[in-house]
Structure 1
């Protein structure tokens, strides 16, 4: 509680420093304020008249805006203050659709409002630090007693927030409304505290501190230090965890993976028989007792004399175990890629090299049905390996098992060569040939009359063909690729 006002939570209990701004007069003593507004309308000197008060308030508001904007301009340059908001990527009913875009004016206003209300968090943080550092041993022992009851009987945990609301909020608020008598009586006439009767004092409220007040700058100081503490904690965790888990050192990360996998298996079996209550009880007592100044001195001495040398030995043993037992497969992954050589039958009855395509362009392929031309490159040298891979062989090899890849893809309307160059031909279609303007001149059969050609199977061998070919033929080439090793670039 603040000594000046009983209805305002001051957020602070340490001595108030003196802060003087350049160009302003020394601060005068604080007086109790009953105004509910969080803006500070007081001026260093008492103005005369309404116009003087208004001009002083306007000048003070201008100083506030300039101060906060100068602080923010060190973080965000003015040229980059307006960041375009991509409304196309947000749905109309999404949580962030109606929120304002970033600008220095809104940021300045929100920062002042936030800084005026963050003091209660720092008060709580300070009380936790005092509790764990044993500045008042009775409070720490009481905390350990409550923690012990909760660990031994976890069913009491839902009672904890209710009890804290009763003892920490409602009872102090009632006592503030019904204070004890302020005058002193003799021992014979002294009377005890009595809660009876009407309230004698205003209710306690929590109000934000006034801008540019000492509490406001104290909150800025604590906020600044908290940001530095968070940055150091973040960087420490990154240095400790990331190099061991991002597989930059594959042996270390693999050993950690195996260890965690074994621990997971063990915990899945033995977690139901472990005494969790006593485990959490022991951890809580050890952490709390380690904050005692005397124990901290002993721990520091023991760490320097005994623990630090053992850390070096343990680290060396782990490195030897990783080097000896963790075997990594350093050979890159190898796979087979394919390319199809396509040729087209010209009007002169000769096969013309067309291109190399990733698809066989069979008669029932989506490209053929849609009337599109095949996509690819005209020369072997222009065929590139997949992204992230490199060639493992110097040359392409012809796939001699043409029937197998035709059957695997369930390709119909073709005939297969099982010998020779292993071409896979389209079956001649007279209607399709007339549409594309290709006139075929099949070799007539000697000694036989023209009869209706029976329907051919989905594929047939080249020697069984009657000489009629379709517009396209293709064959498959294969080549091995291996995964390319990425070189790490350090910036």
Structure 2
């Protein structure tokens, strides 16, 4: 009896669960339809107002919605569960599972449908006009198959890469500080060695290829072998320094190099901090190593304690190196940005003809230098010049040369001030102004960059309209199109693009009208020649010989009046516009 009751109640429970799942799926489908309608409506708004802030916001929201729709579609297409809880798979899904790799690392499929890529693609279509060349560049980069094989944009991966890069740049920053120390004569022996190597490269240029091989041999391979198979190093007894070195009188000076004055103080401060932190950590490591070497077999507890100290010292060293590298990495990016800004300043201002006289002077100088190098360069002793330039530059960076450079700079300033006072005492002030004015006039006439402006003709059409039932013409608008019977806007019943007054007609970008003739438009009184030169269909127009105003009428022959109610006539107006030079290029600000 109980079994019968249980069996009869089971279908009722199953039917109630089916009805609840059906209602939930219907609500889900209803929300899904609303979401699709919202996305379609948003895309229409974007198409109607491209490039606006509203279009940017709608693009971002629609990308999020589309991502949710894709996830919902993927979840709705998942296999359903059977009666006993098992998953019912199709033959296609089973064959796909069999063809999959054994592990995730065996075959990594690229994610070409990343959210960031989709968002960038939608922004590219809505924000950038289709006629600019930058759009093609962005589309090429976005659709690059090699780029699509790489992972998409991820803040987690980006942060992890920056952290790992900062932790692995210790050797790079050590090399940076070492180069600065060599240039500033902090270690004279290394500076002289670098000068000798530089001289050898200038004399025998093939050493440029030999130096990297020597570094690989003696800097990487041999130390690696010695580390694996350590040699027996004799224990040398340290002795104190006695007397003065052979060339100590050349290097012992309280002065600093002029390079240290040119370099930012942050570098020198960080260099000292790096040295002090490295020294303290190495001391702790050496003390730990010494204490560990003195351990006997009976002191196992002290051995474990020293091992813990050694591990803590290593951990502290790695954390300290990471912090120092992060700060150096930050300053390195700052220096890179400053260098990029200086390069942009040269590219967009100095070499971009913002100051046309200076840019023209640089152009002639570079042109003359190029021809001189091409035709006279083989007769110049370049080796001797480079050797002398390298040694002279290094000697000028020596600390003892700093005082001579500073004194010569001060003497030059004093001589300039004395000369100015003498000129003020001997020449009246009015004469000085005349001399300065003459010098400025000569300076301006040194290089003439006053080119003639570029002249072009711009045209516009004055349209007038008349009903077929009337005889009087009325003004319609000024337009850039001739608005004939085959015009698409006219066939669709739309007004042509244009303005209602000539004062609202502006020249093209970077062009200007003559300021003395604001609304001086010329009338084209030869409409036949205009139609012939433009290869227009003359059967669409009628030109009345008795009129001298240049009107071109619509040809209303063989036209059903029910189709065309209005007749148009137009005449061509033109004037000159000038371009004296486009504004200089500006760097892009991201």
TM-score band w.r.t. shorter chain: 0.5 to 0.7
- Asked if residue 219 in structure 1 is aligned to residue 321 in structure 2, the reply is no
- Asked if residue 95 in structure 1 is aligned to residue 95 in structure 2, the reply is no
The SS at the match of 2:230 is coil
- C-alpha separation between the residues in 2 aligned to 1:336 and 1:134? 67
Q: Give the corresponding residue for 2:557.
A: 429
Q: Per the alignment, do residues 94 and 174 of structure 1 end up closer, same or farther by CA in structure 2, a change over 3 Å counting? A: closer
Structure with higher RCO (Cα < 8 A, 6+ apart): 1
- Asked if residue 176 in structure 1 is aligned to residue 297 in structure 2, the reply is no
* Mean CA deviation greater in 142-151 or 243-252: 243-252
- The within-5 A match list for 1:294-443 is 294-306=400-412, 322-329=443-450, 334-348=455-469, 350=471, 352-353=473-474, 354-362=476-484, 373=494, 375-377=496-498, 379-381=500-502, 383-388=504-509, 389-392=511-514, 393=517, 394-412=519-537, 413=539, 414-417=541-544, 420-430=548-558, 432-433=559-560, 436=563
- The within-5 A match list for 1:218-297 is 218-227=324-333, 229-230=335-336, 243-271=349-377, 273-297=379-403
Q: Per the alignment, do residues 130 and 96 of structure 1 end up closer, same or farther by CA in structure 2, a change over 3 Å counting? A: farther
Residues 86-139 of structure 1: per-residue CA shift (max 9 Å, x gap): 342533745378545464x65654443233211111111122223333344443
Higher helix share: 2
Segments of structure 1 that go 5 or more residues without pairing to the other structure are 1-82, 187-207, 439-469
Q: Give the corresponding residue for 1:475.
A: 571
Q: Give the corresponding residue for 2:177.
A: 126
Root-mean-square deviation over aligned CA pairs: 4.5
The answer to whether the 8 A contact 1:402-1:417 is kept is no
Q: Per the alignment, do residues 349 and 279 of structure 1 end up closer, same or farther by CA in structure 2, a change over 3 Å counting? A: farther
CA drift at 1:385: 0.8
Residues 25-54 of structure 1: per-residue CA shift (max 9 Å, x gap): xxxxxxxxxxxxxxxxxxxxxxxxxxxxxx
The SS at the match of 1:260 is helix
Residues 50-90 of structure 1: per-residue CA shift (max 9 Å, x gap): xxxxxxxxxxxxxxxxxxxxxxxxxxxxxxxxx97734253
CA drift at 1:143: 2.6
CA drift at 1:215: 2.9
Q: Per the alignment, do residues 306 and 340 of structure 1 end up closer, same or farther by CA in structure 2, a change over 3 Å counting? A: same
- The within-5 A match list for 1:184-203 is none
Residues 361-410 of structure 1: per-residue CA shift (max 9 Å, x gap): 34566667x66656134633464213545543233331123233222211
- C-alpha separation between the residues in 2 aligned to 1:305 and 1:178? 62
Segments of structure 2 that go 5 or more residues without pairing to the other structure are 1-114, 125-141, 238-313, 420-435, 585-590
Q: Per the alignment, do residues 379 and 149 of structure 1 end up closer, same or farther by CA in structure 2, a change over 3 Å counting? A: same
TM-score by length of 1: 0.57
Which residue, out of 151, 165, 169, partners 2:202?
Answer: 151
Q: Per the alignment, do residues 158 and 484 of structure 1 end up closer, same or farther by CA in structure 2, a change over 3 Å counting? A: closer
CA drift at 1:346: 2.7
Q: Give the corresponding residue for 2:76.
A: none
Q: Give the corresponding residue for 2:71.
A: none
The SS at the match of 2:206 is helix
The answer to whether the 8 A contact 1:332-1:482 is kept is yes
Q: Per the alignment, do residues 484 and 135 of structure 1 end up closer, same or farther by CA in structure 2, a change over 3 Å counting? A: closer
The answer to whether the 8 A contact 2:478-2:502 is kept is no
The answer to whether the 8 A contact 1:336-1:478 is kept is yes
Q: Per the alignment, do residues 364 and 109 of structure 1 end up closer, same or farther by CA in structure 2, a change over 3 Å counting? A: closer
The answer to whether the 8 A contact 2:452-2:580 is kept is no
The SS at the match of 1:134 is coil
Q: Per the alignment, do residues 211 and 344 of structure 1 end up closer, same or farther by CA in structure 2, a change over 3 Å counting? A: farther
